Structure formats: C-alpha cells, structure tokens
Amino acid sequence: MQFHRLLKFAPIGVCLFTGCSFQSAAPRVETAITPLPTVAVSNAVLAAPVVFKGEPEPLYPEVEVPNVPEVNHWVREYNNERKSCLRSALERRQAYAATFQPVFERHGLPPELVHVAMVESAYQPLARSRSGAVGMWQFIAGTARSYGLKIGTSVDERKDVAKATDAAARHLVDLYRTYRDWALVLAAYNSGSGTVNRAIARSGSRNFFELARRGMFPKETVNYVSRFMALALIHRDIHPYRLSDEPTALQLARAENAALKIPR
C-alpha cells in the first residue's frame, strides 16, 4: 500500500520541535560492541489471548502510568505550550488508524503503544533523524534489516507505514519478553538494550524512574519515556487535561480512541 501520495508535501528533512514533533533518538551505534551483562529472560510461555465479546484482548498487559513529576510535567506541556502540536500530530495519526489497529491486535499489544510513533516522529513516515534513523518508527538500518525491512538505493521500507509498523510491533514484543516492563521497553527502544542492561546491572533496580533519578539514563531517554506516559494518560481520559476546550480535537481524539480500542 502506498502512503507517499498522502504525504507528498510532508517534509523529508527533520524539523525538530522539542517535545513536539520528534526528537532524534540518542546516538545509535551499529558497530560491534563489547557484550554487556544480560537481563535474565523468563522461559515461561505467555498465555493465549483472552477472548471477550468476540474480540481478542491484548496478550501483553496495558501500560502502567506512574504518578511521578516527570510524567506530570509532560502532561502540562502537551496541554499548554504544545497543545497545537499535539493536535496536528493527532490529525496525521488519524490517516493511519486503520493500519495501526490490526497490527497491534495481531501481536496482542496494548493499542496505546501507537504513541511510540508520536514520540519518535509525530507520525511522519518520511522523517529522518541526524543519527540516520528513518520513518515513522525511526529504525536505524541494522535494526530494520533484522526485522525484514528492505533498504537499498531504490527502496527503503522504513518509510512504508504498514511494514514498518509490523516491524516495530515485533521489536516491542521482543523487548517486552526481555524486560517485562513497558517503561524499560521504551527506554531500550530509544537508547538501546545495552543502556538498559547496564543500568540494571549497576543498580540492581528495575524501576525506570528510580534508575533515571540515579542518573542511569540520558536525559533524552528520561524525556522520551515520560512523554510516552503523558500521552497515554491524556488519551485515557480527555476531559481532565483540557482538550475538551477544543471541540475538533476532542471529537478527533474520541474517534481515535474508539477506532484503536484504547480504554477510557
């Protein structure tokens, strides 16, 4: 399915708006590195999806949003200084709702993980970061190829929304099977598994925000996870976060929540 026609006027270059459009991920290195301490992975087989009213429920648990200052800061940011940017991103996301939904359902993932694409690129399929990450889900070449995306002189499937979304979902599944905690999964998606493994090995803690306050993660990664959590919180209940004073934004968000089956 071709999405380029919809986005023929979308900027190919990166335009950075702090906390608004998308921020490039922390520098990602694709060369071989010294092996880091690994996190124990459970071999337990995950339960089959629960069927409720004929519809499959997520196989993986929903994202738990902690009540911490880092998240509350971004809730305020998105509903004040960055409200117009959030609204613009929601309008772009609406064009891809039908693409996201079946992918997340097929992999049993919480539908609100779609917000990863907001934090990564503000839902811009042609986005390119300074570190060479490309597409809505901001894959570097090595990771993209490991999930079957083709990259060459005439094709770059990181820009294909359907294929890149499926690759991102499989990547999130792999990360969750390793860390069993969505905050750590998001941190690994942003800064790499090596950073997360190192933080856990050095501290013995698996609480992302505790690790962040100990200085175990780059500031950009702390903001990345906090922004995602803020977006998840905002979309679980529109009214308390003052999107209700924007009728068009409220109607759009309600329609998206219904389409993506995000719990209210």
pLDDT at 192: 95
Which residue(s) pair with 56 in the sheet?
A: 51
pLDDT at 210: 96
Burial class (CB in 10 A: 0-12, 13-18, 19+), 64: exposed
Q: Which residue has the tokens 């993209």?
A: 144
Count: domains in the chain: 1
Which residue(s) pair with 156 in the sheet?
A: 151
For residue 226, is it within any domain? yes
**Token pair for residue 249?**
């934004």
Spans of the chain below 70 pLDDT? 1-58, 237-264
For residue 58, is it within any domain? no
For residue 135, is it within any domain? no
pLDDT at 242: 42
Predicted TM-score of the model (pTM): 0.71
For residue 3, is it within any domain? no
For residue 48, is it within any domain? no
| Backbone angle region of 54, left / alpha / beta, with phi > 0 → left and psi within -120 to 50 → alpha | left
- The catalytically annotated residue of 105, 120, 157, 256 is 120
Q: Which residue has the tokens 């100990």?
A: 214
pLDDT at 221: 97
Q: Supply the DSSP string of the chain, one letter for each residue.
A: ---TTTTTTS-SS----TTTS--PPSP---S--PPPPPPP---PPPPPPPEETTEEPPSSPPPP----HHHHHHHHHHTTTTHHHHHHHHHHHHTTHHHHHHHHHHTT--GGGGHHHHHHHSS-TT-B-TTS-BTTTTB-HHHHHHTT--BSSS-BGGG-HHHHHHHHHHHHHHHHHHH--HHHHHHHHHH-HHHHHHHHHHH----HHHHHHTT-S-HHHHHHHHHHHHHHHHHH-SGGGTGGGSHHHHHHHHHHHHHHT---
The closest alpha carbon to 231, from 63, 96, 103, belongs to 63
pLDDT in tens, 81-90: 888 888 888 8
Q: How many CB atoms lie within 10 A of CB 120?
A: 26
pLDDT at 92: 86
CA distance 134 to 126: 7
For residue 220, is it within any domain? yes
For residue 26, is it within any domain? no
Residue 120 a catalytic site member: yes
Q: Which domain holds residue 188?
A: 63-114+160-260
Instruction: Please give, one letter per residue, the 3-state secondary structure of 183-219.
Output: HHHHHHHHHCHHHHHHHHHHHCCCCHHHHHHCCCCCH
pLDDT at 168: 97
